Amino acid sequence: MEALIPVINKLQDVFNTVGADIIQLPQIAVVGTQSSGKSSVLESLVGRDLLPRGTGVVTRRPLILQLVHVEPGDARKHEDGGREGEEWGKFLHTKNQIFSDFDEIRQEIENETERISGTNKGISDDPIHLKIFSPHVVNLTLVDLPGITKVPVGDQPNDIEVQIKDLILKHISNPNCIILAVSAANTDMATSEALKVAREVDPDGRRTLAVVTKLDLMDAGTDAMDVLMGRVIPVKLGLIGVVNRSQLDINNKKSVADAIRDEHAFLQKKYPSLASRNGTKYLARTLNRLLMHHIRDCLPELKARINVLASQYQSLLSSYGEPVEDQSSTLLQLITKFAAEYCNTIEGTAKYIETAELCGGARICYIFHETFGRTLESVDPLGGLGTIDILTAIRNATGPRPSLFVPEISFELLVKKQVKRLEEPSLRCVELVHEEMQRIIQHCSNYSTQELQRFPKLHEAIVEVVTSLLRKRLPVTNDMVHNLVAIELAYINTKHPDFADACGIMNNNIEEERRNRMRELPSAVPRDKSAGRGPAGEPPAGGADMEGAKAPSAGPQGEQDGTGNWRGMLKKGDEAPSSGPGSPLRGAVNLLDVPVPAARKLSSREQRDCEVIERLIKSYFLIVRKNIQDSVPKAVMHFLVNHVKDSLQSELVGQLYKLGLLNELLTESEDMAQRRKEAADMLQALQKASQVIAEIRETHLW
C-alpha cells in the first residue's frame, strides 16, 4: 500500500487548503471460514507480524485495525507518541499506552480477546480497536473477522453459525467496504462460504475480491489452475492466489520479507504462467488499484469545489485592487471617480441605484417639494395672530389721533410679522439639503468607490474636504435664504397684480356683507354721520388703497367713516375720561387703566376692521409664500448643490493632489494589505491543489 502514500499525502495538502473532508478510503474486511488464512492475508498486506494466527479458532473478536500514516521524521514528535521506533500501536481499550513492539501488540490482542470472550473458544462481537502509526502505511482501515464456523465448540453457543454470520454481515454490508473473500485452496471453491456471504451484500461483485490461500497445501496431483483462471467461480474484481506462512513458519518466526520471497519462488515454479498475477504483492497492488479508483472517483467533486473556491478568491482578490504602482495617477483616478460618483448620485445617474431609500438628488427633490413645500403650506397666514392682536395693532398704529381709516401701517407691520415666519422653515430646508449632501459622501464611499476603503487616509481626507466645502457653502446659502425673506420684508408691494385683484374682490365682498348687515340692523345707520372722508386716505398703499377702493361703491353714507371712525374713536375714547352714558359697560375708567387685550365682544366696526386686515394679510402672505416656496429651492440649488457639484473635483484636486501627500494618502490599511496577501496565498494554494488533482488523475501506479 505504500504506493498510495504520495498520492494520499498530496491529496492531504489539497484537503488542507480547501478544508474539504478527507476522502474516506474504503475499509477492507476479510471474510472466510475458520483457519482459511484471513488473519495471515491481512498481516502480509500490512507487512508486519502483529495478528494472532493459528489453527482452530483464533480470531474471536472483530479487530478493527486502523492504519495511520505519520511522516517519518514526525514519529517522535507526534502527539500520539512513538517514543522508540518509527512505528507504534495503540489500543482503544488501553487508552494512551504505546506499543512499539509488535509481539506485545499481538499478545495484547490475545489478552483482550480472552478478557471478553473467555479462554474457551468463545466469540464476541465487541470489536478490538487498534491503531498502527507508521510512515509506511496509508490511512486505511482493515477489519479482521472471526471465521465462519458450523459446529459449536467449547463455550460457543448452539447458534454460533448464525451469530458469526450476523457479525460478519454487520461489517461488510457497509458499501464503502472492500471484501476480501478468503478461501483455502485445499477446499472446494464451489462450496466457498466466503464468496457466499460476500454475495449476500455485494451481489454484483463490485467490491468483492477473492483470495485463495494455501496454494502450497494442495494435494499431490492437484493444482489450482482452474480456480485461479476463474473457471470455477468467476469473480468480477479478480481472484488472487497467495501463499502465507505455515504454522511451522510462524513457529520459526519466519519474516514477512522471506515469506514473500518464497511465495514468489513457489508461484514461479508451480504456476509460471500465472505468477505475475498472483501472490501477496499482486494482491496488494490490486487493492491499491481499487483504492486508487475510489480516490479518482472522488476527484471530480473535489476539483469542482476547488474551482469554485478559486473563482471566489479571485474575485475577492480583484476587489482588493492591485497594489499601487503609479501613486499620482491612482490618486487622481480615485479623486476623479469619487467626484464623478458624487455628482452622479445627485444627478441620479449613479451606477449603484439605491433601492432601500431615497438618496442623493431624489432626496433633495423630496426635501424641496415634500418636506419644505408641505411645511410652508402648513404655515397659517394668520398663525399667532389673534383678533385682539390685530385690533391692538390697529390702535397702536393710529397713535394718539383718532383715525378715520384703518391705518395702513398696521397692515404692513402685521404682514411683515407673518412673512418673517417663513424664514425658519426656509433655513431648515437649507439644513436638510446640507445634511443630505453630507450623507451622499458616505453613500459614495460605501457603494460606488469601494477602492477608497483600501486607503483609509485618503478616504478620510476626501470626506474632510467635501465636508468643509459643504460647511463653507452653508453660511452663504443661509445668507441668501435669509435675504430672500428680507427682500420680501423690505417692500410690501401692494400693487402686486395678484394682491390688487384680491383686494378688489374682497372689498366688494365686504361691501356686500356690510350692506346686508345694514339691512338687518337699520338702527345702526343713524350712527354714521360724517360721510365722504374716504378718499382723503393716504397714498395708494395698504389699507388706504383698499379704503379708497371702497369709497366709490360706498356712496354718500360710506360706512367707513361712519362706523369705522366713530367706533375707532370710541375705542380710543375708552382711555379718555368719558364716563358718559355710553360707558356703563366699562364701568369706572381709570386714567391709568390701559386696555388689556381680553376676550370681549367686538363691535361691528372692530370686527370689520379686523376682517379687512386679516383678509389683506392672508392674501399678501400667500403671494409671498409662493415666492419663497419657489425661490428657496432655487437658491439652495445655486448656492449649495450646484456650487459644490461644480467645484468638488477642483477642490479635491487642489487640496489633495500634492506630491508631499501622496505617500501618506495612499497608505493602505494594514488590514487590507494582510487580506490581499491571504487571498493571494489561498489562490495560489488552490491553483496548486488543482494541479495536484490533475496529476493524480494521470497517475498510473503500474
Check residue 36 for interaction with ligand GDP (CB under 6 A). yes
Question: Residue 37 or residue 564: which is nearer to ligand GDP going by CB?
Answer: 37
Residue 253 per-residue DSSP state = T
Which residue type sits at 618? K
**355: contact with ligand GDP by CB under 6 A:** no
Q: At what angle do helices 256-270 and 38-46 cross, to 10 degrees?
A: 110
Q: Which of residues 138-167 bind ligand GDP (CB under 6 A)?
A: 147
User: By C-beta, is 62 or 147 nearer to ligand GDP?
Assistant: 147
Of 40, 134, 410, 619, the residue at the interface with ligand GDP (CB under 6 A) is 40
Q: Which of 33, 39, 477, 507 binds Mg ion (CB under 5 A)?
A: 39
* DSSP state letter for 525: G
User: Which among 30-38, 497-505, 622-630, 652-660 is the span making contact with ligand GDP, rule CB under 6 A?
Assistant: 30-38
DSSP 175: T
Query: Is 52 or 381 the residue whose CB approaches Mg ion more closely?
Result: 52
Q: Does 58 interact with ligand GDP (rule: CB under 6 A)? A: yes
Instruction: Indicate which of Mg ion, ligand GDP, none lies near residue 190 (CB less than 5 to 8 Å, by partner kind).
Output: none
CB nearer to Mg ion: give 102 or 405: 102
- Contact between 213 and ligand GDP (CB under 6 A)? yes
| Residue in 383, 384, 381, 413 with CA at minimum distance from that of residue 396 | 413
- Which residue matches cell numbers 346686508? 516
CA gap 55, 62 in Å, rounded: 17
- For position 54 contacting ligand GDP by CB under 6 A, the verdict is yes
Minimum Å gap between C-beta 65 and ligand GDP is: 13
Q: Is 117 in the site for ligand GDP (CB under 6 A)?
A: no
10 in Cβ contact with 299 (< 8 Å): no
Which residue type is seen at 424? E
| Partner in contact with 32, chosen from ligand GDP, Mg ion, none, beta carbon below 5 to 8 Å by kind | ligand GDP
Name 569's bridge partners: none
Residue 305 is placed in which grid cell?
A: 469545489
What does R_g of the chain's alpha carbons equal in angstroms? 54
Question: Which residue has cell 481472484?
Answer: 239
Cβ distance to ligand GDP smaller for residue 5 or 250: 250
The rounded distance, in Å, linking the Cα atoms of 497 and 495 is: 6
Q: Which does 216 bind (CB under 5 to 8 A by kind): ligand GDP, Mg ion, none?
A: ligand GDP
Secondary structure of 383-426 in HEC code, one letter for each residue? CCCCHHHHHHHHHHHHCCCCCCCCCHHHHHHHHHHHHHCCHHHH
Of 58 and 696, the one with the shorter C-beta distance to Mg ion is 58
Could you say whether residue 32 binds ligand GDP (CB under 6 A)? yes
Determine, following the binding rule CB under 6 A, whether residue 34 of this chain makes contact with ligand GDP. Answer: yes
- By beta-carbon proximity to ligand GDP, the closer residue of 222 and 642 is 222
494 binds Mg ion (CB under 5 A): no
Cβ 132 to ligand GDP shortest distance, Å: 18
Region of 237-245, 345-353, 503-511, 634-642 interacting with ligand GDP (CB under 6 A): 237-245
* Set of cell numbers at residue 258: 522471506
What amino acid occupies position 8?
A: I
Q: Is 478 in the site for Mg ion (CB under 5 A)?
A: no
> Which part of the chain contacts ligand GDP (CB under 6 A), choosing from 37-45, 436-444, 493-501, 628-636?
37-45
246 binds ligand GDP (CB under 6 A): yes
Q: Does 128 bind ligand GDP (CB under 6 A)?
A: no
Which among ligand GDP, Mg ion, none contacts residue 40 (Cβ within 5 to 8 A by kind)? ligand GDP
Q: Which is nearer to ligand GDP, 53 or 567 (CB)?
A: 53
Contact present, 605 and 568 (Cβ < 8 Å): yes
User: Per CB under 6 A, does 90 bind ligand GDP?
Assistant: no
Query: Looking at 17, 27, 44, 59, which residue binds Mg ion (CB under 5 A)?
Result: 59
Extract the C-alpha cell encoding 178. 472492500
* Interface with ligand GDP: number of residues (CB under 6 A): 24
- In terms of C-beta density within 10 A (0-12 exposed, 13-18 middle, 19 or more buried), how is residue 434 classed? buried
Nearest distance from C-beta of residue 113 to Mg ion, angstroms: 10
Grid cell locating 561: 367713516
344 binds Mg ion (CB under 5 A): no
Contact between 377 and 422 (Cβ < 8 Å): no
- DSSP for residue 205: -
How near is the Cβ of 693 to Mg ion at its closest, in Å?
Answer: 39
Q: Which of Mg ion, ligand GDP, none does residue 207 bind to, with CB < 5 to 8 Å depending on kind?
A: none
Which range touches Mg ion (CB under 5 A), out of 31-39, 64-72, 108-116, 551-559? Answer: 31-39
State the binding partner of 552 from ligand GDP, Mg ion, none, CB within 5 to 8 A by kind.
none
Q: Which stretch binds ligand GDP (CB under 6 A): 75-83, 243-251, 354-362, 559-567?
A: 243-251
d(CA 174, CA 31): 14
For residue 455, which phi and psi values (nearest 5 degrees)? -115, 85
Do residues 393 and 410 lie in contact, with contact meaning Cβ atoms separated by under 8 Å? Answer: yes
> Quick check: 149 and 34 in contact, CB under 8 A?
yes
Tell me the site size for Mg ion, rule CB under 5 A: 3
Q: Give me the helices (H) in 321-386, please.
A: 327-347, 361-366, 373-377
Q: With beta carbons less than 8 A apart as the criterion, state whether 135 and 70 touch.
A: yes
Question: Which residue stretch of 47-55, 502-510, 614-622, 631-639 sits at the interface with ligand GDP (rule: CB under 6 A)?
Answer: 47-55
> Residue 366: is it exposed, middle or buried by C-beta count within 10 angstroms (0-12/13-18/19+)?
middle
Cα-Cα end-to-end distance for the chain = 13
Q: Of these partners, ligand GDP, Mg ion, none, which one is at the site of residue 475 (CB under 5 to 8 Å by kind)?
A: none
Is residue 198 a contact point for ligand GDP (CB under 6 A)? no
Angle CA 13–18–24, to nearest 5: 70
Q: Which amino acid, one-letter code, is at 487?
A: I
Residues forming contacts to ligand GDP in the complex (CB under 6 A) are 32, 34-40, 53-55, 58-59, 147, 213-214, 216-217, 243-247, 250
Q: Which residues bind Mg ion (CB under 5 A)?
A: 39, 58-59
